[in-house]
Amino acid sequence: MYYLRDFVTKKTVNPTNMVFTGETNPWEVVMDLDEVKSKINLDYFRQSPPNILKYLPLLPITKQTEFITLRESATPLIKSRKLGRNLGVEILLKVEGKNPTGSFKDRGTAVEISVAREKGAKAIILASTGNMAASCACYAAAAGIPCFVMVPEGVSPGKLSQVLAFGGHIVQVKGTYNDAADLAYRIAEKMGFYLAGDYAFRLEGAKTAAFEIIDQMLFQVPDYLVVPIGCGTNIGGYYKGFMDYYRLGLIDRLPRIIGVQAEGARAVVNSFEEKRGDIQALPSINTLATAIAVANPLDGLKALEAINSTNGYAVSVTDNEILAAQHRLAKEEGIFAESSAASTIAGVQKLIEQGKIDAHKKVMCILTGDGLKDPQVVLKAAIKPPTIYPQVQEFSNLYQNGFFDGKSMVFVEKSDILFANEPTKSDITRELQNLFAANYGDEYLEKIHESLAKMIQKGKTITISDFQDSIQGVLESPRKEIADVFSVIDFQVDTAKDKKAHATVVVNIAGQEYTGQADGTGPVDAVIKSLTHACRDTLEFKLTEYKVEIRGQGTDANVYVEMKLQQGTKNSIGSGTSPDIIQASIEAFAAAYNAFNAE
């Protein structure tokens, strides 16, 4: 029915354990298509609807009645309404995020876990950046087999939460995906576990997506097929699936296959552009598209074969191009795809601009995962939504002052320096228009200028991210009706190793100066307690919430603080932004205090 062989040397391999890949070369499954053809009815294949069970004769499953399926496959194939028209081609979208665990991985996992159970595996082990972890944990649970997942640090919490929900066991590995994969390989060899991942049997499941596309298109073939490349297994699966249908006589040609990688993880693209026959591992990777952030693609050679054999292309796109494509896909087509999946849209746009995709052709873009798998990348590009009190006037202020007229997302390098020195109001006006397509009145410009000036006084250069934070802070507090009765004149904090911090504050409340002092477990705790002490004779309240968000990566990153004060049954929220967490906390406290005086 099938046998295993080395993908490079084409020599048959006979594994003695449950690791179905070589140490240096990938392996592949070779199906006996003549035998398959003798056992299936091709008319049935042409007429029956797509379903993974339909494709069982083409899969390396010996106990077909025990195949583990959660109804993966039969995912939507949608013709774009706006994207294709705007780009001058016919774009078809294959939404693989509609599989059971939200990604294309379920196709390969159904085959892998079925094979593992057939072979009597006592446990499953794998390395993953998220999607495969969730998928394998899910199907292993269905099969009643323990599942151990090695993940590199920094994987999306949304993906790891799925693993935990399915009863999988997570081990975080310090290092890259390839470090985690190497560890999983060695554990599988030593302990006799089934090594799941981008190996021989997974590709057999991945190829069912190609079968399904042809079935859904009534045995027409798209002109181009565009697939993201991480390890290269998925794109290799599409190629093999099309080849199987071609050899069975179900189609008479193959699509030109295009592989897309992130600019910060372009190992396959490098080989394609340099016309090499090998894949050279990258020394490091840098991309927010975690599902395709792979330094050394295990099936990179299979990806190259798929591209070169079909006269296709390999193209890389930047993170900002990926984010812009993800936003455009959601806004124009109503499909929220994972950033890695949206790379296909970015790749198509780039190739059209380069004249490499002809007009009026059918272009199939594979959207490999659901956007809810990794929403953090969207939040990083989004302009933070405003927070208001439950008053119509507050919303009206935002609406009338044009808050909703500008952009909702910004695709720029937010760490780029915008102002090294204190900007003028005209500088601020210019950048508001350039970056956010926004225009604000003098009152708001004055407040933004004041906010930026404070950062400059602290010795901070203003990045695009800082500029956005400043604007957000101003627009979230546009209430003219709030009296400025409270302000901090000065503060001082003393702290040392293994000692309590001590803070002294001087505040102005309705024209009267007050001083407060307090100790705390840290400088922020000491300052808040000293502020509370200074206000003890003017307002009875308690601090009920304190939230901190660090916006940036450097030691001078802006800190956003949100604070809620409670007076009886009345709550008041204030926020502050500064590169100094103490000053941001003080600003949040002052804003919350003053809000108690709202008319």
Q: What is the CATH number of the domain that holds 139?
A: 3.40.50.1100
Task: Kindly state whether residues 184 and 211 are assigned to the same domain.
Answer: no
Burial class (CB in 10 A: 0-12, 13-18, 19+), 171: middle
Which two structure tokens, joined as six digits, stand for 373? Answer: 């798998």
Task: Kindly state whether residues 83 and 155 are assigned to the same domain.
Answer: no
Q: Has residue 175 been placed in a domain? A: yes
What is the model's pTM? 0.81
The DSSP symbol for 384 reads P
Task: Kindly state whether residues 287 and 350 are assigned to the same domain.
Answer: yes
Task: Kindly state whether residues 308 and 222 are assigned to the same domain.
Answer: yes
Q: What is the reported pLDDT for 408? A: 74
Residue 588 makes CB contacts below 8 A (sequence gap 6+) with 561, 562, 563, 574, 575, 576
Residues of the chain with pLDDT under 70: 156-159, 384, 387, 389, 473, 475-483, 537-539, 551-553, 597-599
Query: What CATH number does the domain containing 555 carry?
Result: 3.30.160.270
Q: Could you give the angle at the alpha carbon of 467 between the alpha carbons of 461 and 469, nearest 5°? A: 115
Q: Has residue 491 been placed in a domain? A: yes
Q: What is the reported pLDDT for 480? A: 47
The residue among 423, 449, 475 that closes a domain is 475
Q: Has residue 218 been placed in a domain? A: yes
Strand partners, 550: 559
Task: Kindly state whether residues 456 and 527 are assigned to the same domain.
Answer: no
Q: Are strands 558-567 and 542-551 parallel, antiparallel or unpaired?
A: antiparallel
Task: Kindly state whether residues 248 and 397 are assigned to the same domain.
Answer: no
Q: What is the reported pLDDT for 503? A: 94
Q: Which amino acid is at 438?
A: A
Q: Has residue 548 been placed in a domain? A: yes
> In what order do the strands lie in the sheet containing 570-578?
542-551, 558-567, 570-578
Q: What is the reported pLDDT for 282? A: 94
The residue among 201, 234, 252 that closes a domain is 201
Range of the domain at 386: 382-475
Task: Kindly state whether residues 416 and 540 are assigned to the same domain.
Answer: no
Task: Kindly state whether residues 211 and 328 are assigned to the same domain.
Answer: yes
Q: Has residue 58 been placed in a domain? A: yes
Q: Has residue 316 been placed in a domain? A: yes
Q: Has residue 481 been placed in a domain? A: no
Task: Kindly state whether residues 210 and 308 are assigned to the same domain.
Answer: yes
Domain count within the chain: 4
Residue with tokens 């080849």: 243
Residue 11 makes CB contacts below 8 A (sequence gap 6+) with 5
The residue among 329, 360, 377 that closes a domain is 377
C-alpha to C-alpha distance for 1 and 6, rounded to whole angstroms: 17
Q: Has residue 480 been placed in a domain? A: no
Q: Is the CB of residue 20 less than 8 Å from the CB of residue 27?
A: yes
Task: Kindly state whether residues 21 and 101 are assigned to the same domain.
Answer: yes
Question: Which of 188-192's residues contact partners 24+ apart within 8 Å by CB, and which partners?
Answer: 188/17, 188/18, 188/19, 188/125, 189/17, 189/19, 191/123, 191/125, 192/17, 192/18, 192/122
Task: Kindly state whether residues 528 and 583 are assigned to the same domain.
Answer: yes
Q: What is the reported pLDDT for 69? A: 95
Helix axes 233-247, 208-216, angle to 10 degrees: 60
Task: Kindly state whether residues 311 and 392 are assigned to the same domain.
Answer: no
